[in-house]
Amino acid sequence: MTANPMSGVPSTSGRRWQLVDMLRGIAVLLVLFRHHQTGGPLQVFGWMGVDLFFVLSGFLVSGLIFDEYRRTRTFLGTRFLIRRGFKIYPSFYAFILLSPVAMALTGKKMSVLNYVAEVFFIQNYFTGVWFHTWSLAVEEHFYFALVIIASILIVRKVRFNLRSMIIACIILSLFFLGLRMASWLERPALFGTHFVATHLRMDSLLGGVLLAALHRYRPEPFLQFFRNHRWLLVFGIVLLLLPTLLEPFGSFIMITFGLSGVYLAGTLAVGLAVTATPLPDDHPVQRWWVRPVSWVGGISYNTYLWHLFVLMTVGLVTTQIGLRGTVAEFVIYALLSIAVGFLATRIIERPFLHWRERWFPARSRP
């Protein structure tokens, strides 16, 4: 590692980081389209929003670990998990506490075991209450695995080697791809076995981890690569997505090479966002696209968390007034999901983040 650990690292705040928030916004909007029948092509392919979230999580969370180590030469894993807990758990458990209300309104019966699966983040292996929280389980498992691995390497004073990390990420990605292939060949794809299991999806976050390492440890080559090859990389994203766009959901190609292509495409998209030159404030694209979508990205976690609760509630009303399954219902559901995401962020998430910074300030920044 370098003697001056924080020199030359591109900023992870301000206008440039707004484009990363824009990707979060795009991801959650894709999910909103995915879960409504009027979404058209975006309903078919909106599940990719979750994979974009995975890549972003890998990049952002591992970046915090790299920053802490580069600044302090240590890493406090327990403290790191506590900080993540202040971000994730308050909104999530508030959501789970209110879930019986939605179930009662819609007449759905859930056992205690369904709630146990949610509470302990094992709902991607055992049936939980909600259809979408499996992705939170994958991320939670990733956080713990990443912290354990980082803590072991730092305690054992293993010297960081970027080349070795690149090789390890490639080998692990091929390993997880092989697992998906073997699982599909053993039994053709089922959503509950092939699409949501952590051991078949962990490589979705590896691209983000590798991107964060390059961003921190090779800042100049990182910046030049993405800025000098922007259009080639955009073309590469299109090519990487083709197997998924052309193959039906659940097919062998889609579940195996298709998912790997989606992860790599997401990795390139994040790299392009991080290295893009921000537009002027008065530019129409900045004003009418980047700014509003990035604002949605800032509340994307709570919007994602609550959107099916909102959809179920809205459905009770739209069924009575004859708007069930219409574009009007989608607009109501999407706007209310964003509104609830905003309120949950303000009322639940932000107070806990304030307490987090007061009691457990970040060690990854001055």
Q: Where are the domains of the chain?
A: 29-359
Say whether pTM exceeds 0.85: yes
Identify the burial level of 209 via C-beta atoms within 10 angstroms of its C-beta, where 0-12 means exposed, 13-18 middle and 19 or more buried.
Answer: buried
Q: pLDDT under 50 in the chain at which residues?
A: 1-8, 10-13
Q: Give me the amino acid identity at 265.
A: A
pLDDT of residue 14: 52
In contact, 364 and 68? CB cutoff 8 Å: yes
Residue 351 φ then ψ, to 5°: -60, -40
pLDDT of residue 160: 77
**pLDDT tens profile 181-227:** 999 888 876 777 788 999 999 999 999 999 999 999 999 999 999 99
pLDDT of residue 155: 80
End-to-end CA distance of the chain: 19
* Cα 12 from Cα 215, distance rounded (Å): 10
Q: Which residues contact 210 (CB under 8 A, 6 or more apart)?
A: 165, 166, 169, 267
In contact, 213 and 162? CB cutoff 8 Å: yes
Distances (CA, A) of 307 to 31, 155, 253, 300, 344: 9, 41, 30, 10, 12
Identify the burial level of 123 via C-beta atoms within 10 angstroms of its C-beta, where 0-12 means exposed, 13-18 middle and 19 or more buried.
Answer: buried
- DSSP code of 326? S
Based on its alpha-carbon atoms, the radius of gyration of the chain, rounded to whole angstroms, reads: 21
* Farthest-apart Cα atoms in the chain, separation: 67
The tokens for 320 are: 């009575």
- 71-86 core/surface letters (b: 16 or more CB in 10 A; e: else): eeeebbbeebbebbbb
* Cα 199 from Cα 28, distance rounded (Å): 24
In contact, 99 and 17? CB cutoff 8 Å: no
Q: Which residues contact 364 (CB under 8 A, 6 or more apart)?
A: 64, 65, 67, 68, 71
* Cα 39 from Cα 332, distance rounded (Å): 13
* Cα 363 from Cα 80, distance rounded (Å): 9
Number of H-type helices and E-type strands within the chain: 18, 0
- Polymer length in residues for the chain: 366
| Cα-to-chain-centroid distance, residue 192 | 19
pLDDT of residue 16: 55
pLDDT of residue 189: 66
